[in-house]
A and B are shown apart, each in its own frame.
Chain A
Amino acid sequence: MPSRCESLGDGPAFGRRQQTALGAPPAIGEYRHLRTSPPQVPPLSSRYSALSLARHALSPDLPWPPAWRSPEPKKSYDVIIVGGGGHGLATAYYLAKNHGITNVALIERSYIGSGNVGRNTTIVRSNYMIGGNTPFFEHSLKLWEGLSHDLNFNVMLSQRGQIVLAHGPGQLDSMARRGNIMRLNGIDAELLDRGEVMRDLPYLDYSADARFPIWGGLLQRRAGTARHDAVAWGYARAADGHGVDIIENCEVTGFVIENGWVSGVETSRGRILAGKTGIAVAGHSSHVAAMAGLKLPVESHLLQAFVSEPIKPFVHHVVSFGAELFYLSQSDKGGLVFGGHIDGFNTYTQRGQFPKVQTVAECAVALIPSVSRLRLLRHWAGIQDMTPDGSPFICRTPIRNLYLNGGWCYQGFKATPASGWCFAHTIAHDEEHELNRCFSLDRFAEGGELDEHGTGNWTYKQ
């Protein structure tokens, strides 16, 4: 058993990590190759480029080839990934790209892009401060920065900056601390005073009777948004280009377990054998893990998100309210995209409750009074794994050859690239990478909780 995550405090952990046998996470600056290395992905004829765009524009009869195949499942694979969301797709891609494992099947119950990868608010950032989280989420943001080139697919990453607002001097102090920890880890962070926030976000309520006065904020300029569907499609196309079989409309109904080892899955399209099996079905982790007899520290909850009618460019950053869980950005189509906190009781319905709609609307108007007459265009809900400490799992399980990626709470989307990167490593080497060593299933038994907010276990049930 490798040594547990040592650094649960504030300090940067890179120094200690470099001494371990597995190798350190790539140092800052080493990521450049990810932006420039030519993806071996699709053959030249199906690569997306200005030239191929012009060719198709001039020849309207020339159909674009499908972005990925629809193969029949084979009898067996080296690795099966259960779940075709962002994390499963990224895992399949990095298994092939980083570890040369291409005999991989990705099994999705519905169609690619139908689950949580298309149900989030598309925000990417790395403003974390607990030892196990900070390097992981920064690794993720760096992968985001090279992702469009890496996948030959425009994921429309827009590093417009995220500002988290402070509504009192104590909160601003805590943000200074967070920003310092980020900078010690090589992550960009800027502390803004009230005047600087007024300059960047002139539309907030700065009046004397504002419900939550604005004292300042913490800005991460490299944070922003990405087009979530493109992330799913880009990873699917790139993984397919490496030979991964993406099998849609195929539901896993059980695991083939012999002598305590998992050797495949039972599906709605028959038994498929595998050397190793990874679960990446966050939202339904308990449900799928139970098929293998595993009980997880997870409850499934709903998080709602909203889009307003489109308006002219207005919100140029990602803005996070500091007085409640509420966050806001503006999509390229002009709609204000915002979300709030979980509904508060476990459910798998994918239908949010109305009181939360009201709470979120109240937050929006408290922060930006001028949106009070905007109409909501759509609202939707995604099911997510809530864990006791709010941190995820990327790890081996007590069952041999079965690996778990889940427990993403409300932070799954931004983690997509690093999650797949680390999960692929964990599966390929049967060993966690330094970046995900803290995300183990046994951390609660071992005193290794990753409580980013310092609020204790199961916050919403306290």
Chain B
Amino acid sequence: MLRITCPCCGERDYTEFRYGGDATKKRPAHGTAEMKTWHDHVFLFDNPKGPHREFWQHVLGCRQWLVLERNTATNEPGVSRPAREVVDE
């Protein structure tokens, strides 16, 4: 069982969370007109075999979004931080 440490609630089963995808992608700026930029943002993923930084939401807990470091080759979870801290960086 994958166990995720929520910054607010502590370590929980992953079933309390909802997966939110790759957190390294930056949403294109408002007003970006070029379709290729949006296409790449919505559809293309690195999908690495190894370290991955990703969003999860603690839907059955505090409902906060967090950013988790996880190795996709082993599922070993690493550091998790509140998403707002990571996004503001």
A286 and B46 contacting across the interface, CB-CB below 8 Å:
yes
In the complex, whether A445 has a CB less than 8 A from a CB of chain B is yes
In the complex, whether A204 has a CB less than 8 A from a CB of chain B is no
Total chain A interface residues with beta-carbon distance under 8 A: 27
Indicate whether A353 sits within 8 Å of B52 (C-beta atoms), given known contacts A345-B19, A444-B39, A445-B35.
no
Given contacts A346-B72, A349-B75, A445-B36, list 15 more A-B pairs with CB under 8 A: A287-B47, A287-B48, A296-B44, A296-B45, A299-B45, A300-B72, A344-B19, A345-B19, A347-B72, A348-B49, A348-B72, A355-B13, A444-B42, A460-B19, A461-B19
Say which residue of B20, B45, B54, B74 sits within 8 Å of A286 (CB atoms): B45
The answer for the CA separation of A458 and B72 in the assembled complex, in Å, is 19
**Chain A nearest CB, measured from B6 CB (Å):** 15
- A and B contact pairs by CB, cutoff 8 A, 30 listed: A287-B48, A287-B49, A290-B46, A295-B44, A295-B46, A296-B44, A296-B47, A297-B43, A297-B44, A297-B45, A298-B47, A299-B47, A300-B49, A300-B72, A344-B19, A345-B14, A345-B19, A345-B54, A346-B47, A346-B54, A346-B72, A348-B72, A349-B72, A349-B74, A349-B75, A388-B42, A444-B42, A445-B39, A457-B43, A461-B19
Task: Pick from B2, B21, B42, B47 the residue with the most CB of A within 10 Å.
Answer: B47
Task: Pick from B35, B43, B52 the residue with the most CB of A within 10 Å.
Answer: B43
Collect the chain A residues with CB atoms within 8 Å of residue B75's CB.
347, 349, 351
Binary flags per residue of B22-53, CB closer than 8 Å to A gives 1, else 0: 00000000000001100110111111110010
**Chain B nearest CB, measured from A446 CB (Å):** 10
B14 and A353 contacting across the interface, CB-CB below 8 Å:
yes
In the complex, whether A284 has a CB less than 8 A from a CB of chain B is yes
Collect the chain A residues with CB atoms within 8 Å of residue B44's CB.
295-297
Task: Pick from A348, A458, A460 the residue with the most CB of B within 10 Å.
Answer: A348
In the complex, whether B73 has a CB less than 8 A from a CB of chain A is yes
Which 7 residue pairs spanning A and B have beta carbons closest together? A286-B47, A297-B43, A345-B19, A295-B44, A444-B43, A348-B49, A445-B39
Indicate whether A353 sits within 8 Å of B2 (C-beta atoms), given known contacts A345-B54, A461-B19.
yes
The answer for the CA separation of A295 and B1 in the assembled complex, in Å, is 30
* Interface secondary structure of B, over-half rule: mixed
The answer for the CA separation of A147 and B72 in the assembled complex, in Å, is 37
**Chain B nearest CB, measured from A442 CB (Å):** 9
**Chain A nearest CB, measured from B65 CB (Å):** 13
Collect the chain B residues with CB atoms within 8 Å of residue A349's CB.
72-75
Collect the chain A residues with CB atoms within 8 Å of residue B46's CB.
286, 290, 295
A353 and B42 contacting across the interface, CB-CB below 8 Å:
no
Indicate whether A298 sits within 8 Å of B45 (C-beta atoms), given known contacts A348-B73, A349-B75, A445-B36.
yes
In the complex, whether A354 has a CB less than 8 A from a CB of chain B is yes
A354 and B54 contacting across the interface, CB-CB below 8 Å:
no
**Chain A nearest CB, measured from B82 CB (Å):** 19
Collect the chain B residues with CB atoms within 8 Å of residue A445's CB.
35-36, 39
Can you name the residue of chain A whose Cβ is closest to the Cβ of B39? Answer: A445
**Chain B nearest CB, measured from A79 CB (Å):** 26
B1 and A284 contacting across the interface, CB-CB below 8 Å:
no
**Chain A nearest CB, measured from B19 CB (Å):** 4
B45 and A353 contacting across the interface, CB-CB below 8 Å:
no
Collect the chain A residues with CB atoms within 8 Å of residue B40's CB.
295
